[in-house]
A and B are shown apart, each in its own frame.
Chain A
Amino acid sequence: MQSSIGVGFLGAGPVTQAIHLPTLARLGAAFTVRHVTDIDADVAAAVAGRAGAAHSTSVEALLDDPAVEVVAICSPNAFHAEQVIAACQAGKKAVLCEKPLAMSAAEAAAIAAVSAETGVPIFVGAMHSFDPGWRAAVAQWGALPRTSHTIRSSIVLPPNSRFEDVATEVLTRQPFPAPDYSDVAVLPGMTHAGVMGLAIHDLPLIRSLLPRYDDLRVIDAKFLAPFGYRILFVAGGKSIELHAVMSQTWQPDWALEVFADDQVLNVEFAPSYVHAGSAVSRLSTSESTQVFGPAEVNGYEVEWRELAAVVHGELAPPDLSTLVDDVRFALTLADASADAVRSTPSAEDAA
């Protein structure tokens, strides 16, 4: 019997509480939560207490804890890169970093360098990439990456709290700051955040369908109130539409569609936070439709299972160049979309 892998969490917010702790609980003895770090000592203590783990308020304390073999980084995006690098340099067995892996190309390059130097496997918690419903379609899609010409990702979501509250009992939440729309930097910034925080779920999937993205060109980008975006862009000879809206609706609707002349793939994902099994993929031709999923296992479980297999030497680690390329693609798109929003005259300016 393999030993249980000790896990330490950097950041004890809703992602840790609602996604990872319930997932690890389902995986039983494969993992043991050993340490929880949060800047809020009370939150760190309370979340650690749920798992019988140690707690602290400093990254160093967690990295110095010998019981922590794998570091799960669930802190705000801005801290991901430095914490991934620190975890690698601490000689941990693996790092699971919530998406995005980095917030700049320089950070991505630094991560690539330290991973090459230390050999520490890095996972990115892009759960859709691990989703059995998606992967089953990928295994059967044949020439779709080459023949597809149009891609659409549409995400309609209720507030996250609605799903967090049915996945766990959340201790604390950061209030969503009220944006100051009179600041011209706000809408470009929120669009950038939308790409790096929401579109990021599907961008690795989209990139897997693109032969290249160095020719990426944003045709149009709009911030959609209260929070969302519509972004049209072309890359690798394909037309891509990204659409997202978060509102007070109760009904989530998360779809990724890929069109070729003779094939259409439609993937329906469950919202984040919930543990509702896999996506359902439909791969259609004019003759028939193949349906993949739903499986009971979701992408969160698969990413942790594969991480365990890597730690135990049963599986090759993820290709870091792919992960770095994924984040470069996301950053290129986020920057270009923010620029497009920035250059769009406001209604007042246009009048």
Chain B
Amino acid sequence: MSTSSEHVRTALATLPLSFPDPAGIVFVDGVPGWPVALLHAMGSNPAGIVLVHPTPVDFADPLAMDPATIVVVDSPWASNPATGLAARAFRAVATDRSRVECRVVVEPSCDFSTALLDQLVLIRAVLGPVTKLQVQHVSDRTLYAEGLTDTSVAIDFSIVRTTATPASAALRLLTDDGSVELQIPSGDTAQPARLITVGPDGAVLAPTQYEAGHRSSLRRLRELHAAGSADGLADLRCLRADVVTTTAALGDYERSTFR
């Protein structure tokens, strides 16, 4: 079991009223092979499923399952509760001339494909889906890529491996007269993200939310359940699009370096 998976399970204990019967929630660890485990879980008719930190493996069968089953994807950065406010802030200033820096620091054990997928999931949450992606450089410890969202916002991705600082993600969009910046700490604690909007009148720090991303994922599951969501597989469909984009870009890069 991954550390993230342990954390999301323990986060369930922080929502005792929302989930009086925690046994009804199934957690699927996003390790390679997770689509099989997810299919199995979906077949057991659970109250909800949390897919925790999925690795980028292609999948189709789970999308053919009963859409009444709610599957929430728990992602290290996108699940942070600040992404809702961040989406408003970023979308308010993003144009088709904008460039957004998306930088993450990860542990050396984190594989680049998963880290890149996590970034795409974050960009989707804040700005929209990345529809074009090109990996520019990969070394043992660093990856650079360039992407474009469906609204033609350019994204500069970077991933750096180190143990010296905790895992984190940072988004920055520079405008003509300011910026919007989001810094997200590891989702395994309730350390808050920082969303800062800079404009001609000064800098505004959005209210901090001391809620771990895993708890936020569980709350979203509860809200979807309470609302009687007709499409419980929406997260999965978005995830599949991001998986396809990620794996295609990495495949293209590998082929180009072996020419």
Which residue on chain B has the smallest CB distance to residue A283?
B164
Q: Is the CB of B136 within 8 A of A259?
A: no
Which residue on chain B has the smallest CB distance to residue A217?
B137
Contact of B162 (CB < 8 Å), options: A156, A243, A248, A259: A259
Residue of B105, B164, B177 most packed against chain A (CB within 10 A): B164
Q: Is the CB of B179 within 8 A of A156?
A: yes
Q: Is the CB of B139 within 8 A of A149?
A: yes
Q: Is the CB of A251 within 8 A of B164?
A: no
Q: Is the CB of A230 within 8 A of B156?
A: yes
B3 contacts chain A at the CB level, 8 A cutoff: no
Chain A contributes a number of interface residues (CB within 8 A of B) equal to 30
Bound Cα distance A285, B165 (Å):
7
B171 to chain A, nearest CB (A): 14
Q: Is the CB of A286 within 8 A of B163?
A: yes
Bound Cα distance A94, B104 (Å):
46
Which residue on chain A has the smallest CB distance to residue B158?
A241
Bound Cα distance A174, B99 (Å):
30
List, in ascending order, chain A residues with CB within 8 A of B214's CB: none
List, in ascending order, chain A residues with CB within 8 A of B174's CB: 156, 245, 247, 249
A150 contacts chain B at the CB level, 8 A cutoff: yes
Q: Mark B163-181, 1 if CB is under 8 A from A, else 0.
A: 1110000000011111100
> Which of B100-148 touch A at CB < 8 Å?
101, 105, 108, 136-137, 139-142, 144, 146
B53 to chain A, nearest CB (A): 21
Bound Cα distance A263, B99 (Å):
29
B203 contacts chain A at the CB level, 8 A cutoff: yes
Q: Is the CB of B162 within 8 A of A262?
A: yes
Q: Is the CB of A286 within 8 A of B164?
A: yes
Q: Is the CB of A243 within 8 A of B161?
A: no
Bound Cα distance A232, B101 (Å):
13
Q: Is the CB of B139 within 8 A of A234?
A: yes
Q: Is the CB of A261 within 8 A of B177?
A: no
B197 to chain A, nearest CB (A): 11
Q: Is the CB of B162 within 8 A of A260?
A: yes
Contact of B144 (CB < 8 Å), options: A156, A219, A224, A225: A219
24 A-B pairs in the complex with CB atoms less than 8 angstroms apart: A149-B142, A150-B139, A152-B158, A156-B174, A219-B137, A220-B136, A220-B137, A220-B144, A234-B137, A239-B144, A241-B144, A241-B158, A248-B176, A249-B178, A249-B198, A251-B178, A251-B198, A259-B105, A259-B141, A261-B108, A261-B162, A262-B164, A263-B164, A286-B163
Chain A to chain B: the 6 pairs with minimum beta-carbon distance, closest first: A264-B164, A239-B142, A248-B177, A150-B142, A149-B141, A219-B137
